[in-house]
Amino acid sequence: MRDIDVRGKRVFVRVDFNVPLNEDGEVADDTRIRAALPTISFLTEHGARVILASHLGRPKGKPDLRFSLRPVAGRLSALLGREVRFAGDCVGPAARESVGAMSDGDVTLLENVRFYPEEEANDPEFAGEMASLADVYVNDAFGTAHRAHASTAGIAAYIPAVAGFLLEKELASLGMLVVNPERPFMAIVGGAKISDKIGVLERLMSRADCLIIGGGMANTLLAAQGKDLANSLVESDRLDVARGLLEKAAREQVDLLLPLDLVVAPATDVPDRRQTVDPDSVPEGWMALDIGSRSVELFGKRISKAKTIFWNGPMGLFEVAGFDTGTLGVATAVANSDGIRIIGGGDTVRAVNQAGLADRMTHLSTGGGASLKMVEGKKLPGVEALRDK
């Protein structure tokens, strides 16, 4: 974005304002809005007419006021200290009228691009209509860079296209993991299902020096080792895949760490009945919902030796008090590390915020799915669309 003259230009900026709203329809967490402020401020200070576009939620290709971006315009106005106009549409007369009334330095936020099915279909005509609103395209939405949608990739075919500051920062931070991480390189992967992260696990087993696995996906690996996890979340149809991953870790000589103990309970809503047991001692009818203190201690010792840490996925059901100790313990260990600490978006960022440790991390990614795709070595359509543009 620094490489182009934006003064007096209409600049269409794809941001990621897919933020949670509370029951009153107000922004509940403005982290993603704040992440876009450096790009927006740079453009306004350099005399651009800034047209912002984003999705919010899953409106299924039709207008739904529950997913309107109007509340986001109000929050952005407060953060910028200037009025942000809101257009009632992202294409058509309402969008053209709002953009046509702009002066240099103005900011307009368009309505949710996913109110149209053509957005997710990457429809060329729809992309061209959005492009007609502007002179230049800036992609600053890393969280959707792994999607080939009209506003993330298609629009770049029509007007000059560049990366915003947030996208640049994400690519630099995560690219280091792919190209040349400082070693020892530690990867921590959690979450519910192995099936969601097979590719990234295989990639990390070829790249990382040590790999910690927790959460529901650890259950499936433990089950593949012959442990009886009772009613725990286990992907029974993926046990062969899990065995293959264990064998690959042995071949690649990566140090693979699984939980030494588990916090279990008969249901997710009775944390007061929780117990800590060995992986092969889960009571009949109970389920594993967190890692235990011995696991946190082991993981913490290994984390302290790492020079580069990538963490994606919680260690358990951290949203429920009583089942959050493992995730918060790992968060503390990562924060106390002297290494580079990269948090891979989504629930992991929420967990770090919950622990009050966000300011002690090197980089908090704004894109969980996109960060995994990048670490896996996959090309991101939203980035590829900018090449030679």
Instruction: Write out the catalytic residue numbers.
Output: 32, 193, 346, 369
Provide Rg for the chain, Cα atoms. 22
State the Cα–Cα distance between residues 187 and 167, nearest whole angstrom: 22
Question: Tokens for 141?
Answer: 């939405």
* Beta strands per DSSP E along the chain: 10-14, 49-53, 85-86, 107-109, 136-139, 161-163, 185-189, 210-213, 255-257, 262-265, 275-277, 287-291, 308-312, 340-343, 363-364
State the Cα–Cα distance between residues 27 and 131, nearest whole angstrom: 28
SS3 state of residue 49: strand
State the Cα–Cα distance between residues 312 and 318, nearest whole angstrom: 14
> Tell me, what DSSP letter sits at residue 374?
H
CB-based contacts of 186: which residues, under 8 Å, 6+ apart? 208, 209, 210, 211, 212, 302, 303, 305, 306, 308, 309, 310, 339
* Ramachandran assignment for 348, one of left (phi > 0), alpha (psi -120 to 50 degrees), beta (any other): alpha
Per-position b or e across 6-19, b if 16+ CB within 10 A of its CB: beebbbbbbbbbbb
